[in-house]
Amino acid sequence: MSSISKTRKRLKRLWTPLQEGQPEAVHEVRKLTRRAQAEQHVAGSSGHLRREWRALRQTVAVLRDRDVVGAYLMSALAELEAPLTDVEQFRAAWASRRDTVLSELSLPERPSSYVLPGHWKRKVRATLSEDQTALREELAKVMASQDPEIWHTFRKHLKRYRYTTELLDDEAPEVVLNVLDQLGQIQDAQVVLDVVNREAWLPSYREQIIGRVTKIQDQAREAVREHVDELNRHFAGTPVPA
């Protein structure tokens, strides 16, 4: 018997805080759209419906990325022992810029509800088995590449796999969570680099920040490589029962 996903109902509760730009709501909505993506992948939802939810995810990402960068730059200033005047000046300027971005941001209409087909948990298990095979093949290509876009695409696929696992009310395997954490650090660092280069924040600290961010990326990539064997064992392990 089919059932309506509860994802849109949860989104409704977060909608007003999201419109206000509250950082926690922004973060929660971003995660919720990831769960919706996993559900729709399993359910075989229409392209139109997926585009609705993707539009929300991409719009929210603009604020979420800015919040990540702001937190990182504040942390960098603290580690670099920047004078309080520099810290407060940056904090005020960053908050002002975020307010501007929020005022210019146009949220789409709340996405539509969608149906989860009967015996959908069985479909989740079948999807996980298929994804394990695909991810193992993709991982080999990632390890042979230095292209940041290839690494980022793998992260998106692995993230969907994580949320698909959690549709069964299970926590994703620890190795998946560990690798996603490292891949997230790589991507967050890239977002920091993009913003610092594009918007020219903190010119007096720019080279130090770029050096720190590049080091974080290198260390995170190495950490991913250290987990490759364990991740492959997981993907090649006992098939998910139907």
Q: Are 228 and 139 in contact (CB under 8 A)?
A: yes
Provide the domain count of the chain: 2
Residues 6+ positions from 240 with CB-CB distance below 8 Å = 125, 126, 128, 129, 132
Q: Are 56 and 14 in a shared domain?
A: yes
Quote the CA–CA distance of 170 and 13 in Å, as a whole number: 24
Q: Are 132 and 214 in a shared domain?
A: yes
Q: Are 150 and 177 in a shared domain?
A: yes
Q: Are 142 and 187 in a shared domain?
A: yes
Q: Which domain holds residue 68?
A: 1-118
Considering the chain, what is the average pLDDT of its residues?
A: 93
Distances (CA, A) of 81 to 67, 87, 88, 95: 21, 9, 13, 21
Q: Are 159 and 189 in a shared domain?
A: yes
Per-residue pLDDT of the chain (242 residues; tens, 9 = 90+): 578 899 999 999 999 999 999 999 999 999 999 999 999 999 889 999 999 999 999 999 999 999 999 999 999 999 999 999 999 999 999 999 999 999 999 999 999 999 988 788 888 999 999 999 999 999 999 999 989 899 999 999 999 999 999 988 778 999 999 999 999 999 999 999 999 999 989 999 999 999 999 999 999 999 999 999 999 999 987 544 44
In tens, the pLDDT along 72-99 reads: 999 999 999 999 999 999 999 999 999 9
Structure tokens at 191: 């977002």
End position of a domain, from candidates 118, 139, 160 = 118
Q: Are 8 and 82 in a shared domain?
A: yes
Q: Are 76 and 124 in a shared domain?
A: no
Distances (CA, A) of 125 to 155, 170, 219, 239, 240: 20, 12, 34, 9, 6
Q: Are 4 and 88 in a shared domain?
A: yes
